[in-house]
Amino acid sequence: MNLFKTDEDLIRDFHNVWHPCTQMKDHETRPPLLIERAAGVHLFDADGNRYLDVIASWWVNILGHNHPRINQAIKNQMEKFSHVMFAGLTHKPAIDLAETLVNSSSPNLTKVFFSDNGSTAVEVALKQSLQYWVQTGNPEKKQFVYLKDGYHGETLGALSVCGSDLFRDKFEPVLMQNREVVGPDCFRCPYGLTPDSCQAECFEPMQKTLEQNHATVAAVIIEPLVQGAAGMKMYPPIYLKKLEEACNACDVHTIYDEVAVGFGRTGALFVSEHHGLQPTFLCLSKGITSGVLPLAATLTEEKIYAAFYDEFASMKMFIHSHSYSANALACAAANETLALLQEEGFMAGLQPKMDALKEGGRQLETLPWCGEFRQTGMIAAVELVKDRDRKEPFPWQQRVGHQIFLEGLKRGVYMRPLGNVVYFIPPLVIETNEIQTMIDTAYECIDKVLGGK
């Protein structure tokens, strides 16, 4: 496995590159995989080894690698131009994309602001919310409410609404003072309820927080249905309905961070539109270009836009820009992605795959360490526990997930567990037999690491 001593490229990687979310010392003995090509659901390394990309390269790759139609869309746009600045100038790829996003999302969302990644999509929503309150005479509304274990990106503004010490603790002293609320925890439900009997009783802390603090709260930010970085914690839509009612009653914005779950991942294009919800802001990125180019969008409603729309001298405009906003190549890739997702039969075609995932869950549940198998559309996860009855987690120092990751590599499956949670977010184009391979391999790896088999 260790190419390190022989491969010149990996030595150059080690000397020059600082990889994200990586303890670089780990690469002393086990270098990263050197990827040479990718196609469909597979990655190929420099030695010709093939890996099933079951985490879709961090959620992004919806339609498979090297998709001929997406590649062609990029080439076609490149013949005209690749990029122009997006102030004073505009172009058809961005206009088409904005229109499609507006038409496909919740009916209240009418305006699209482009940026480059999920963090900036969130920062735009935070800033538009703050400036809205300043410009409508409520400057005291300047705090955000976020859920424990929530993840919304890592620029310092986005980080200030993340509810995880792992990401925050080194930076805590400089973060904006926002308000963390305990959210749903269905696997370890403190109310002892199940999805069938639940009426989102766990909304209570949020309800109280909003009632007590709405005068100073600008917005609540949330990952709808699935808290990804938290280990694919899932909760039912009723929580979101209650949140919408409470925020409307308290005059507080809702920011939906669908950066991870958007673009078909849950079985619908967007969680918000699918469940009839009307967030004030909708943040999108990752799957937007099907994983080929960086792009992000923040959608909002007319009421927000109107508070910035005035004579120039009012200085009410939204002063925020990134040079590569609405990059034309990325917009072209996004337009083709949406065209593919919206083709007749595409979404319906996910049903047998979701069924196969569910079936796979039954198989994984036979493992004695399977605390819970959970699934929302094309997102599935197994939370491994030391003791099933007491739901006792393995200590993080044991690096159970990392060991499973290494076993997966040996078997040609690229998993990247989060702590004790092994998860599956394959490209939506994965075939049911490939889902079976993925599940079988995960089963084998877990059994090997935890059962010593």
Q: Where are the beta strands (DSSP E) in 121-174?
A: 143-147
Task: Kindly identify the residues of this chain, within the stretch 118-147, that bind a copy of itself according to CB under 8 A.
Answer: 118-120, 123, 126-127, 130-131, 134-135, 139, 142
The stretch near a copy of itself (CB under 8 A) out of 63-71, 200-208, 230-238, 421-429 is: 63-71
* Residue 35 near a copy of itself by CB under 8 A: yes
Nearby residues of 321 by Cβ (< 8 Å), 6 or more positions away: 86, 87
CB closer to a copy of itself out of 371 and 393: 393
The stretch near a copy of itself (CB under 8 A) out of 188-196, 235-243, 327-335, 362-370 is: 327-335
The stretch near a copy of itself (CB under 8 A) out of 17-25, 202-210, 266-274, 340-348 is: 17-25
What distance in Å separates the CA atoms of residue 1 and residue 8, rounded to the nearest whole number? 15
CB closer to a copy of itself out of 156 and 249: 156
The only residue of 324, 369, 373, 423 in contact with a copy of itself, by rule CB under 8 A: 324
CB closer to a copy of itself out of 240 and 304: 304
Q: Which of 387, 452, 450, 453 is nearest to 422 (CA)?
A: 450
CB closer to a copy of itself out of 65 and 233: 65
For the window 361-390, what string marks contact with a copy of itself as x by the rule CB under 8 A?
A: ------------------------------
Task: Kindly identify the residues of this chain, within the stretch 406-445, that bind a copy of itself according to CB under 8 A.
Answer: 414, 416
What distance in Å separates the CA atoms of residue 386 and residue 12, rounded to the nearest whole number? 40
CB closer to a copy of itself out of 200 and 226: 226
CB closer to a copy of itself out of 78 and 249: 78
For the window 329-368, what string marks contact with a copy of itself as x by the rule CB under 8 A?
A: xx--------------------------------------
Q: How many of the chain's residues bind a copy of itself (CB under 8 A)?
A: 129
* Residue 303 near a copy of itself by CB under 8 A: no
What distance in Å separates the CA atoms of residue 223 and residue 203, rounded to the nearest whole number? 15
User: With helix as H, strand as E and coil as C, how does 163-178 read?
Assistant: CCHHHHCCCHHHCCCC
* Residue 310 near a copy of itself by CB under 8 A: yes
Q: CB–CB of 388/368 below 8 Å?
A: yes
CB closer to a copy of itself out of 105 and 370: 105
The only residue of 209, 266, 272, 325 in contact with a copy of itself, by rule CB under 8 A: 325
User: CB of 372: closest distance to a copy of itself in angstroms?
Assistant: 25
Alpha-carbon distances, residue 57 vs 51, 78, 112, 286, 380 (angstroms): 12, 25, 26, 10, 15
Q: What's at 185, amino acid-wise?
A: D
Centroid of chain to Cα 6: 36
Among positive and negative, which fits the CA dihedral 365, 368, 372, 377?
negative
- Give the other-Cβ count within 10 Å of 40's Cβ: 18
Nearby residues of 311 by Cβ (< 8 Å), 6 or more positions away: none
What distance in Å separates the CA atoms of residue 48 and residue 35, rounded to the nearest whole number? 9
The only residue of 41, 48, 49, 65 in contact with a copy of itself, by rule CB under 8 A: 65
In the chain, the N- to C-terminal Cα span, in Å, equals 20
